[in-house]
Amino acid sequence: MARSTRSPARLVIALSVAAVLAVFLLYTSIAGGSKAQVTPSTLAGHSGDVSLTGKVVGRPHGDAHSARGLRFHMRDIKGGSETSVAVAFRGTVPDLFKSGRDVVVEGQLRNGVFEANSLVTKCPSKYAPATSNQT
C-alpha cells in the first residue's frame, strides 16, 4: 500500500539520467568525434586527422586558392623544439594570419606536408595581461 503512494519522481529522475548517460556514452565511445590535439614537435606518429597548434614561422607563400595552396611552416608556440612542420592550406585565410601568429590547423600529414582543411588564427587576446617596462 505504502509503495503505491510513493512519488514517481525518483524513478523519473533515475530513468532520465540513465537515458541521458546511455546516449552520451554511446556517442562518445562508439561514434567518437574527438580529434588529437598536437603541436609540431608531437605530430610525428599521428596518421589520422589531427588538430595542430603552433606558431607560423618564416614567410608564408603561395595562393590559398591554387592547387598547391598557401604554404607556410609551424613551430611549437612555447619554443624549446626546433621541429618545424610544412603546412599546405587551401581555403579562406583569416584576416589576422601572418608570420609570428599562433594558429590552429586541422588536417593530416601526407608525404611530409601537413595538408590542412581548416586554418584558424588565434585572436590576439583581449585578456592577455599587459606587458611592458613596469616600474
Partner 1 sequence: MADLGRAALVVSLGLAVYATVAGAVAARANRRRLADSARNALIACFGSTAVASAVLVVALLRHDFTFTYVAAHTNRDLPALYTLSAFWGGQEGSLLLWLLVLSAYGALAVAVNRRLLRDLVAWVVPVIGGIATFFALVLVAVSSPFETQTRAVDGAGLTPSLQNPYMVAHPPLLYLGYVGLAVPFAFAAGALLAGRTDERWIVATRRWTLAAWAFLGVGQLLGAHWAYVEVGWGGYYAWDPVENAALMPWLAATAFLHSVMVQERKGMLKVWNMVLVALAFELSVFGTFLTRSGVVNSIHSFAKSPIGSWFLGFVVLSSLFSVALILWRLPLLRARTRLESALSREATFLYNNLLLVALCLTILWGVMFPILTEAVRGETRTMGRPYFDFFLRSFGLPLLLLMGIGPLVAWRRTSARTLARTLRWPIATALATGLLLVALGAGSSRAGLIAYTFSAFVLASIVVELVRGTRVTGSLFELVARNRRRYGGYVVHASVVLLAIGVAGSSAYASERDRKLSPGESVSVAGYTLAYRGLTTHPGANATEVRAVLDVSGRGDGTLRTGVNRYGAGDQPTSREVGIQTNWLRGEDLYVIADQIDKDGSVYFKVLVKPLVNLIWIAGFLFVGGALVALWPDAREQRRLATRLALARA
**Which residues contact partner 1 by CB under 8 A?**
7-9, 12-13, 16-17, 20, 23-24, 27-28, 31, 33-38, 51, 53, 63-65, 92-93, 95-96, 98, 102, 104, 120-135
Q: For the CB of residue 86, give the shortest distance to partner 1 in the complex, in Å.
A: 21
> Distance between CA atoms of 130 and 132, rounded to whole angstroms?
7
Phi and psi dihedrals of 83, rounded to 5? -60, 130
Shortest distance, position 5 Cβ to partner 1, whole Å: 9
Angle in degrees, CA 94, 98, 102, rounded to 5? 80
Say what the alpha-carbon torsion angle 41, 121, 28, 48 is, to the nearest 10 degrees. Answer: -50
C-alpha to C-alpha distance for 135 and 132, rounded to whole angstroms: 9
Q: Which is nearer to partner 1, 111 or 133 (CB)?
A: 133
CB of 103 to partner 1, least distance (A): 10
- Asked if 102 contacts 55 with a C-beta cutoff of 8 angstroms, the reply is yes
Nearer to partner 1, 28 or 81 (CB): 28
Nearest distance, CB of residue 128 and partner 1, angstroms: 4
User: Given the complex with partner 1, which of 66 and 111 has the nearer CB atom?
Assistant: 66
